[in-house]
Amino acid sequence: MAAEIGIGTGMIALSASLAVGLTAIATAWAEQSIGAAAVGAMAEKEELFGKGLILTVIPESLVIFGLVVAILILGLATGA
């Protein structure tokens, strides 16, 4: 089974993993400072939970796009 996977497929898999992995790092990076600030604000005023949550999860779109791109790339592998 393993022998059947050519170098091309391997590259495709690798690029898909990069698409998810790098965007995940970017998301984490962006969220850490927003999250810290949001928790700080919530400690002062509890009603800010909703707004804090929204601001914190905004960068999540990055990793979602990464995932979508990864799926598109994997689509190449099955298509080829």
Q: Which of 10, 53, 73, 80 binds another protein (CB under 8 A)?
A: 53
**Long-range contacts of 50-56, Cβ-Cβ distance < 8 Å, separation of 24 or more:** 56/31
Q: Which of 4, 7, 43, 78 binds another protein (CB under 8 A)?
A: 78
Q: Contact between 39 and another protein (CB under 8 A)?
A: no
Residue 4's CB: how many other CB atoms inside 10 A?
6
Distance CA 59, CA 29 (A): 9
Residues at the interface with another protein (CB under 8 A): 49-51, 53-54, 57-58, 60-61, 64-65, 67-68, 71-72, 75, 78
